[in-house]
Structure 1
Amino acid sequence: MGKKLLFLFAAFAALYFISGCSNEHAAVAGQAGHDTRSTPPIVIAHRGASGYAPEHTIPAYRMAEKMDTDYIEIDLQMTKDRQLIAMHDDKVDRTTNGTGSVKELTLDQIKSLDAGSWFNQKFPGEADSGNHDLSIPTLQEVIQTFGKQANYYIETKKPAEYPGMEDELLKVLKKNHLIHSGAENRKVIIESFSADSLKRLNDRYPQLFLVQLGYPEKMDLPAISRYADAVGPDYQGVTESFVRKAHEEQLQVHPWTVNSVSDMKRLTGFGVDGMFTNYPDKADDITQSP
């Protein structure tokens, strides 16, 4: 069954239920399906609070948590020994003192790298001596650290280079009781530029909330709505018309990566349902303001 059919089924069920319920119970019933609008927009900490701490490190995620972000984003790469790690690039060169492709390095080799000193050099105003001792966390380590108190927004990066990445991801989520059959669970949202990756996940667990990343002008919204629940477009191409068309297809809109206050206000005015940012504190101030 496609995502849109699932949405319509849930919507009709909710309407039927609401007709005989109090307002409080109606609100609960409305949460059963995939909402097409979040009020206020959710704030997604892009690679953690990466404007203030080294991206994809425990301190960056912890700082985001302290800023009351709604979700922490975790980009996934897979090591030579098939361990999922939190890293944006498929090479370790930019954010560590090492070199080479993640897929050609073991977890032990990657764990030996310095994952924080580069940040002090690039952003001296945010430098911290503790950054010299940081290592790259695995997905399991992030979840063990923050548990079910946090919400996770996870990207399968270049899954074509990592056969079986989705299976490894599902294993970790099931091990930590973050995925189950039945009702939709928003503790975890999964995003990808790869439609094939999202379709594989949708086939396995249609209750997962899935987000198709891309560029607004290239997005086939009706097609995306058959396997995903939201789109994550480059914020620079997002217009009010695009948001309206996405909502007509029962798709939420979560633009990336929005760092200026003026852009945050503009996109909130367009009716977006969430936004990625390196500065969760700025976004939280705007989205929570009356």
Structure 2
Amino acid sequence: MRHASLFTAVSLGLFAGVTTSAALAETSPLEQQLKDLASFQVIAHRGASGHVPESSMAALELAHEWGADYLELDIQMTADGELVAFHDDTLERTSNGEGHINDHTLAELKDLDAEAWFNDTYPDQADEAFMGTEILTLEEVFSRFGQNARYYLETKSPQLNPGVEAALVKRLEAFDMIDTGRVLVQSFEQESLLKIHELNDDIPLIQLVWYSPSQEDSERLVEWRGTTPGAPDITDEHLQAVADYAVGLGSNYRYEGEQVIDETFIRQAQDNGLAVHIYTVNDTDHMQQLIDWGVNGLFTDYPDRLIELIE
């Protein structure tokens, strides 16, 4: 898979000193995006969601203003086929709506209050300016930031959003986000990522993983969807299987306060051509440890903290 091969070459420094005419040719925007994955990326988790309502235009604008490398959003589909940026499968936590988001039309979702929960939950950060916050469509996000941002988009709960992959690829192509190196697509569901590549194999993919203790044996770590074994048991062959379709891994760092990956895991993934992005890291001491371990990027609700740390 050419994305993974290019990332491997860049991460191993194989372009250094090359003087062929091909190497001297102008780098395309998509190739540049893949090269950039070898360096550190600040990924604004649902925007600057530690400061303002998550997945809101205010959160995205703040993260963009601070200079985050990627605006991260979860993408779901409405009952009438529109793509919206919303994390939870159900509406209750971050709006005054009820039920599954996929059971509502866009017009119904636009009528909801997606702000009051934040002001109620975080009274010290409450702001009247958040009043009128709406659930965003992906088109609204692209129309606002266009080619001036990069986007890190998850096909969220694809089993509840049938057809989300085709709809997402259609929007990415319509807004020219692929060849211009503007987007990464992530998912915990390997099948969803493979569907994306069947539709357009130029789209760089990130395989999300979640490591936690096995219910049968708490001393053994397992991956939520079985995409890989637990980090201590992972082999080069397992990582190469992911690198066949993805350019990176997005992994948790801790589970209930205990580490589930270490520096060896990060280096092994990188040696197999995968960038490693860790989610969701808000503590600066944890940020620094992961930076010292050589991760390629961090998801954070506080991109300002991370940017200050790496400057």
Do they superpose with TM above 0.5? yes
Q: Partner of 1:18: helix, strand, or coil?
A: coil
Greater strand proportion:
2
State the shift of 1:10 in Å.
8.8
The 5 A counterparts of 1:147-162 are 147-162=146-161
Letter of the structure 1 residue corresponding to residue 266 of structure 2: V
**Aligned counterparts of 2:31 and 2:109: Cα–Cα separation in 1:** 41
Q: Does 1:123 align with 2:122?
A: yes
Aligned length in residues = 280
Letter of the structure 1 residue corresponding to residue 54 of structure 2: E
Equivalent residues of 1:230, 1:251 under 8 A apart: yes
For residues 134-157 of structure 1, what are the alpha-carbon distances to aligned partners after superposition, in whole Å with 9 as ceiling and x for unaligned?
110100001111111111110000
**Aligned counterparts of 2:249 and 2:161: Cα–Cα separation in 1:** 23
**Aligned counterparts of 1:16 and 1:42: Cα–Cα separation in 2:** 21
The 5 A counterparts of 1:238-253 are 238-253=261-276
Q: Which residue of 1 aligns with 2:43?
A: 44
Q: Which residue of 2 aligns with 1:85?
A: 84
Q: Partner of 1:246: helix, strand, or coil?
A: helix
Q: Which residue of 2 aligns with 1:254?
A: 277
**Aligned counterparts of 1:117 and 1:61: Cα–Cα separation in 2:** 18
1:212 pairs, out of 186, 193, 207, with 207
Structure 2: give runs of 5+ residues left out of the alignment.
212-220, 229-237, 255-259
Q: Which residue of 1 aligns with 2:217?
A: none
State the shift of 1:215 in Å.
2.2
State the shift of 1:235 in Å.
1.9
State the shift of 1:202 in Å.
2.0
State the shift of 1:100 in Å.
1.2
Equivalent residues of 2:8, 2:271 under 8 A apart: no
Q: Are the structure 2 counterparts of residues 121 and 193 from structure 1 closer, same or farther at C-alpha, using a change threshold of 3 Å?
A: same
Q: Does 1:222 align with 2:226?
A: no
**Aligned counterparts of 2:6 and 2:115: Cα–Cα separation in 1:** 44
Q: Does 1:166 align with 2:161?
A: no
Q: Does 1:191 align with 2:189?
A: no
**Aligned counterparts of 1:102 and 1:177: Cα–Cα separation in 2:** 27
Q: Are the structure 2 counterparts of residues 56 and 206 from structure 1 closer, same or farther at C-alpha, using a change threshold of 3 Å?
A: same
Q: What percentage of aligned pairs have identical amino acids?
A: 37
Greater helix proportion:
1
Q: Which residue of 2 aligns with 1:133?
A: 132
**Aligned counterparts of 1:269 and 1:286: Cα–Cα separation in 2:** 12
Q: Which residue of 2 aligns with 1:54?
A: 53
Q: Does 1:235 align with 2:253?
A: yes
**Aligned counterparts of 1:215 and 1:98: Cα–Cα separation in 2:** 29
Q: Are the structure 2 counterparts of residues 5 and 61 from structure 1 closer, same or farther at C-alpha, using a change threshold of 3 Å?
A: closer
State the shift of 1:176 in Å.
1.0
> Could you say what the CA RMSD is over the residues aligned between the two structures, in angstroms?
2.7
For residues 52-84 of structure 1, what are the alpha-carbon distances to aligned partners after superposition, in whole Å with 9 as ceiling and x for unaligned?
000011001011111111111110111100111
Q: Are the structure 2 counterparts of residues 285 and 5 from structure 1 closer, same or farther at C-alpha, using a change threshold of 3 Å?
A: closer
TM-score, length of structure 2 as denominator length: 0.82
**Aligned counterparts of 1:16 and 1:262: Cα–Cα separation in 2:** 33
Q: Are the structure 2 counterparts of residues 37 and 167 from structure 1 closer, same or farther at C-alpha, using a change threshold of 3 Å?
A: closer
Letter of the structure 2 residue corresponding to residue 42 of structure 1: Q
Q: Are the structure 2 counterparts of residues 16 and 36 from structure 1 closer, same or farther at C-alpha, using a change threshold of 3 Å?
A: closer
State the shift of 1:238 in Å.
2.8
**Aligned counterparts of 1:36 and 1:203: Cα–Cα separation in 2:** 25
Structure 1: give runs of 5+ residues left out of the alignment.
none
Equivalent residues of 2:10, 2:38 under 8 A apart: no
State the shift of 1:37 in Å.
5.5
Q: Are the structure 2 counterparts of residues 209 and 4 from structure 1 closer, same or farther at C-alpha, using a change threshold of 3 Å?
A: closer
Q: Partner of 1:159: helix, strand, or coil?
A: coil
Q: Are the structure 2 counterparts of residues 222 and 279 from structure 1 closer, same or farther at C-alpha, using a change threshold of 3 Å?
A: same
**Aligned counterparts of 2:7 and 2:95: Cα–Cα separation in 1:** 43
Q: Does 1:201 align with 2:196?
A: yes
**Aligned counterparts of 2:102 and 2:41: Cα–Cα separation in 1:** 33
Letter of the structure 2 residue corresponding to residue 105 of structure 1: H
